[in-house]
Amino acid sequence: MRKSAKLISAASSVALLLGALAVVPGVASADEALAAEGKKIAENRKKGNCFACHDYKGAHLAGNIAPPLVAMKARFPDKAKLRAQIWDPTKNNPNTIMPPFGKHEILSEKEIDAVAEWVWTL
């Protein structure tokens, strides 16, 4: 087998393996893992505590003083804008009662990334 044919064969095998992993149940993508971590942070009363104000599917005793977290991809087609909203909601609405999680260092940058990833799945 020629060298180029071997490379093509190897590349095809790798692509096939990666494609198979994407559909195997129980194998989470990096985005899914980040979203799962974001959900934990959002539901942590000492961290995000999102359900104190927001309602979302699966929230236990959710609040109703903030917009429900539904159709977030439609509301924020650009995930960076959603992240910016979590980081400092006072930029878009100076009168908001939502805490600026990044500006006030309530959450780390990594935690904000995770929460934004989770919220964007709702």
Give me the CATH number covering residue 52: 1.10.760.10
Give the pLDDT band (50/70/90) at residue 62: confident
Distance between CA 18 and CA 12 in Å, rounded? 10
Residue 108 is part of which domain span?
Answer: 29-121
19 located within any domain: no
Cα torsion through 35, 39, 42, 47, rounded to 10: -90
Q: Average model confidence (pLDDT) for the chain?
A: 84
**Is residue 29 over pLDDT 90?**
no
The dihedral built from the CA positions of residue 63, 64, 66 and 67, taken in this order, carries a sign that is: positive
Mean pLDDT of 116-120: 96
- pLDDT above 80: residue 120: yes
In a domain, 115, yes or no: yes
**Res 91: pLDDT:** 96
The answer to whether residue 69 sits within a structural domain is yes
In contact, 86 and 34? CB cutoff 8 Å: no
Is 60 a residue whose pLDDT tops 90? no
What's residue 7's pLDDT? Answer: 46
- 43-54 confidence digits (pLDDT tens): 999 998 999 999
Residue 12 lies in a domain: no
Confirm whether 6 is domain-assigned: no
Asked if residue 63 has pLDDT above 60, the reply is yes
Query: Tokens for 2?
Result: 């020629």
Which pLDDT band holds residue 28 (cuts at 50, 70, 90)?
A: low
